[in-house]
Amino acid sequence: MTQIRIEQQARQQLSLTPKQQQSVKLLQMSTLELSHEVNTAIANNPFLEEPDETWTDHGAQEEDNHVGTNNDTDRHHDGHTPSEGSASDSGDPPGNAQEQAMPDMPAAYSGDYPRHRNTDQGASDVGVWAHSVISLQDSLLADLCGYSLNERDRKLAEHIIEAIDDDGYLRTPFCELAGAGQFDPDVGNDEWEIALRLVQQLGAPGLGARHLIECMTLQLDALPATTPHKKLALLIVSEHLDKLGRNDTPGLAHVLRSTEHEIQAASTLIRSLEPRPGNRHSPVDPSTYIVPDVIVRKAGMQWIAVSNEAAIPQARLNATYARMFQGTRYSGRTLMAKELQEARWLLRSLEQRGNTIQRVAEAIIARQQTFFDYGEIALRPLMLSEIATELEIHESTVSRATSNKYLASPRGIFEFKHFFSRELPTQSGGTCSAGAVRALIQEMIGDEDPKSPLSDVVLTNKLEREGIVVARRTVSKYRAQIKIPPAELRRAF
């Protein structure tokens, strides 16, 4: 007979409250992600609103108190100030809250939607500011309309256009362009070739190419016949593109029986071509824009961090709805109370997020003053643990506060994590940062003789003479990180 054994065990377990989970979630978000999160909360929570929505019936614009000043109540549609009965942070209604909120609303209150907006401009017309982005396919289909084609030929061209990728290439085989039974009779390769030639006449030269050689050939063919070195460039592209990639000018001159000057002129013409012609039509993804969280400025002899208020999404408590809620006693009050609590949690989490990012930015900039004066070569070694110890916060909090966060400075826009670089020893017994070593490598390569570029071994020896001891493979890794090709590909003939 099986015996069941029951035991009690005591153990400690740390769990985050919902408020803490929300704070952690908001801290690790980028500015764009945070804006989306706040906009979603405003749309779904009746107690939240955007501070700039100062609507009144008579067009009177009232002042807004934004998040970051520890206030949860502000002026609103009805024109009352917080002292006239707005909700307190504790949720206790003032003595006359019910009389003000119920049953009569002020005459200026116009419901959930504004009837008049106080601006110096005329009525807002969506057509004034809205625009649509024309895709590559839309552009080619519009050009195709200018040709008189039968239905079958037009369908063939449309299938090819729809298969062209964002780079402008047709990488799909002909046999996969159309499903079985879509055309009667079935389409042969010759028909597809004819349709492809038509598509390649649409738009910019090079569109619809199946590979790089065809793309460059189409672009060269589109140049005027009098273009200098056009025929030589066509020969290089069609037969010797590998030698061009290695900068083998003497080898090309020998094979093509031309002078090195002519080869260099033809190579310059080839490099002026567009290897991805579809990029001209690619719409810009708004998510690729970088919104800096902090702006670095110089005050006297010191660089300081200033919060970019314009990048911080704003929200505030809807004072009118809060007063109306506090004056009710209906059965669904618990659900609304939860919404009010979540609204207040969000506002406090936003404020806490801003304070944490600001403190981390100030600590980073205090340690990297020389970077903003002299550039990458003066980047100091820095670890997350140093910032965490100084600010008395956990290292994971510093990691979240630096991920996808950016600062704008006179030297450019940098991610916070750019300033964290591991230590490398020097012969003098000191240390330098990996970022400074990358900057030294880039400087050395920038000063090299193009006809005799520095190999990774030579770069390692030069760094050693500067007092920095690193292995050759480390130099190769750092060179690759700054996107510099090896010496044999940098050689100029």
Residue by residue, what is the 3-state secondary structure of the chain?
Answer: CCCCCCCCCCCCCCCCCHHHHHHHHHHCCCHHHHHHHHHHHHHHCCCEECCCCCCCCCCCCCCCCCCCCCCCCCCCCCCCCHHHCCCCCCCCCCCCHHHHHCCCCCCCCCCCCCCCCCCCCCCCCHHHHCCCCCCHHHHHHHHHCCCCCCHHHHHHHHHHHHHCCCCCECCCCHHHCCCCCCCCCCCCHHHHHHHHHHHCCCCCCCCCECCHHHHHHHHHHCCCCCCCCHHHHHHHHHHCHHHHHCCCHHHHHHHHCCCHHHHHHHHHHHHCCCCCHHHHCCCCCHHHCCCCCEEEEEECCEEEEEECHHHCCCCEECHHHHHHHHCCCCCCHHHHHHHHHHHHHHHHHHHHHHHHHHHHHHHHHHHCHHHHHHCHHHCCCECHHHHHHHHCCCHHHHHHHHCCCEEEECCEEEEHHHHCECEEEECCCCEEEHHHHHHHHHHHHHCCECCECCCHHHHHHHHHHCCECCCHHHHHHHHHHCCCCCHHHHCCC
Please report the pLDDT score of residue 336 as a whole number: 78
The 10s digit of each residue's pLDDT in 194-222 is 999 999 998 889 999 999 999 999 999 99
Q: Is the pTM of this model over 0.85?
A: no
Domain edges within the chain: 17-104+283-420, 136-199, 212-280, 423-490
| Stated length of the chain | 493
Please identify every stretch of the chain with a pLDDT value under 50, giving residue numbers as ranges: 53-131
Please report the pLDDT score of residue 485 as a whole number: 87
CATH 3.30.460.10, applies to 423-490: no
The 10s digit of each residue's pLDDT in 35-62 is 888 888 888 888 888 875 444 333 333 3
Phi, psi of 114 (to 5 degrees): -75, 145
Other CB atoms within 10 Å distance of the CB of residue 332? 8
Q: 323 near 336, Cβ under 8 Å?
A: no
Please report the pLDDT score of residue 16 as a whole number: 65
- Paired tokens of 306: 């200033």
Please report the pLDDT score of residue 184 as a whole number: 81
Other CB atoms within 10 Å distance of the CB of residue 357? 23
Burial class of residue 185 in the structure, from the number of CB atoms within 10 Å of its CB (0-12 exposed, 13-18 middle, 19+ buried): exposed
Other CB atoms within 10 Å distance of the CB of residue 140? 22
Please report the pLDDT score of residue 295 as a whole number: 94
Please report the pLDDT score of residue 14 as a whole number: 54
Question: Residue 169 pairs with which residues in a beta bridge?
Answer: 209
